[in-house]
Amino acid sequence: MRLIEDHERLIYVDHAATTPVRAQAREAMIPHFAESFGNPSSLYALAQESRNAVDEARERVAGVLGCRTREVVFTSGGTESDNAAIKGTAHAMRKSGRHLVTTAIEHHAVIHSCEQLEDVGFDVTYVPPDATGIVDPEAVANAVRPQTVLVSVMLANNEVGSVQDVRTTSDLVKEKAAGLGTSVVFHSDAVQAAGKLSLDVDEMGVDLLSLSAHKVNGPKGVGALYVRRGTPIEPLIAGGGQERQRRSGTENVPGIVGFGVALELANEERHSFNDRCERLREQIVTGILERVPGAILNGHPQQRLSNIAHFSFQGVEGEPVLLGLDFAGISASSGSACSSASLEPSHVLIAMGMDPSLAVGSVRISLGIDNTQEDANAIMDVLPDVLRRLRAMPSLAARGPLS
Ligand SMILES: Cc1ncc(COP(=O)(O)O)c(C=O)c1O
């Protein structure tokens, strides 16, 4: 096994968890920490600079989404956007009905928001995916009832990278609702899809869309919720009425500025990003499947993100594998941020029908803008070696070296 010192730099392949802030976003943010620090709601010229910076960022985000600037609400990130979309719409529409439809493989920000609504009397249908992590659009539409007020289907899954056909799902859902004489709001979590897929909200047919800056080489703690004009939604956060009464709180001006720049660049560069990731991913997948006996590649073979390769390995737990990789200078993950901190199998893999004993032995490689051929080579060398050593020590493989 190679040790950390053998590498010129750490190999970071956990971009689905977070990404470094790119230089252009950092540079755009810096003036707004100290020099141009005014509160955008104040009246003097200094404040106007902040107001203009927020407006400019809103134009950048709206440009990527193909929407009006007034339909973009800045939030503290993907989690808040998902919470605001689900709970805000459910509460605004509670007199029309108390049923929601979502999928069993959503991020916990969506799943736990739905569970909170169940605690206060809403009913939620969780549509399961197939074994490749794809949710059938017809199954989602079939779950719609006269009481359904909201449907939420993520665009790309954060663990296995499977991409849903949001357009078809939204069309079928709206058709079904129209047939029932009701109307349904359609939300999609596009946090992982940003910078990889088109985010045109009209092409997708969505009313609400969640985004997060730190997945696209922007800063942490900032994101956006797209709200189509006329969509019923109650604000989750009440206060001074910022963001056109939809999200109170003094704006995170540097964060919003960095987000605007990062999202715009990620969207412009997405074709070349996808080409490069596709090439590296293909090599990693082929290399690992060839070199590791019993390795399983998860997710849909085509309908997926370019940058995620998710494997399961029989007879090992993810944690010792990740520690072995870390020891060799490679930062990867088991999948979701939550499940990487526990030995619970991922809800996504379980929903895909995977045996829990196999699900706990999972590793996600998620590529980003700085990964190189050398990184792919190192992964193909080190990961099989780590697995070989762990499999030779069954008690270590099962328990993890630190337990
Ligand atoms: C699909 C998805 N939705 C929502 C989130 C939450 O985003 P944030 O970290 O900005 O709160 C994440 C982050 O992992 C995600 O992958």
pLDDT tens digit sequence for 281-307: 999 999 999 999 999 999 999 999 999
- Give the CA distances from residue 139 to residues 133, 145, 392, in Å, rounded to whole numbers and listed in that order: 14, 12, 44
What pLDDT is attached to residue 125? 98
* 395: pLDDT strictly greater than 90: no
At what angle are helices 373-391 and 318-327 packed, to 10 degrees?
130
> Which of 3-7, 33-37, 211-215, 219-223 bottoms out in mean pLDDT, i.e. has the lowest?
3-7
Please confirm, yes or no, whether 338 is among the known catalytic residues.
yes
pLDDT band at 398 (very low <50, low <70, confident <90, very high): low
Q: Which domains does the chain have, with CATH numbers?
A: 4-16+270-392 (3.90.1150.10), 23-268 (3.40.640.10)
Report yes or no: 359 and 298 within 8 Å, Cβ to Cβ.
Answer: no
What pLDDT is attached to residue 400? 43
DSSP 232: -
Ligand 1 in contact with 77 (CB < 6 A)?
yes
Ligand 1 in contact with 223 (CB < 6 A)?
yes
Ligand 1 in contact with 191 (CB < 6 A)?
yes
Residue nearest atom 4 in ligand 1 by C-alpha distance: 78
Whole-structure pTM value: 0.95
Which atom of ligand 1 is the closest one to the Cα of 17? Answer: 14
Distance between first and last Cα of the chain: 22
The string of DSSP codes covering 284-345 is HHHHHHHHSTTEEEES-SSSB-SSEEEEEETT--HHHHHHHHHHTTEE-BSSSHHHHTSSSP
Averaged pLDDT score across all residues of the chain = 94
Dig out the tokens for 322 from the structure. Answer: 């990740």
Question: Which residue in the list 67, 114, 277, 338 is annotated as catalytic?
Answer: 338
Give me ligand 1 centre to Cα 10, in Å: 24
Report yes or no: 22 and 369 within 8 Å, Cβ to Cβ.
Answer: yes
Give me ligand 1 centre to Cα 173, in Å: 25
Cβ burial of 403 (10 Å; 0-12, 13-18, 19+) is: exposed
- For residue 310, the Cα-to-chain-centroid distance in whole angstroms is 15
What pLDDT is attached to residue 4? 45
pLDDT in tens, 248-294: 999 999 999 999 999 999 999 999 999 999 999 999 999 999 999 99
Give me ligand 1 centre to Cα 139, in Å: 25
pLDDT band at 402 (very low <50, low <70, confident <90, very high): very low
What pLDDT is attached to residue 344? 82
